[in-house]
Amino acid sequence: MERGYQLRIFFDYLETGDSIQTFLDDFDGVTRQQVIKLLEMSQKLIETSSNILHEDFAG
């Protein structure tokens, strides 16, 4: 299974209440650092999107 797919389904694990460790146990090829990077990138995307939406509605 390709690594990109594994990281995409990580959010499915979180939605069902599974822990990061459960995900890592199920997908040996994914590291904790990759999961942390995914979360950091997701946070930046959310913050950027939120700022853009705020600017569009404020103007």
The residues spanned by each domain of the chain are 3-58
pTM higher than 0.75: no
CB 7 within 8 A of CB 34: yes
Q: Which residue has the tokens 């990580």?
A: 10
Cα(19)–Cα(39) distance, integer angstroms? 13
Q: Which helix (H) or strand (E) holds 24?
A: helix 20-26
For residue 57, name the pLDDT band (cuts at 50, 70, 90): low
Residue 22 DSSP label: H
- The CA-to-CA distance between both ends of the chain, in Å, stands at 45
Rounded mean pLDDT, 13-34:
93
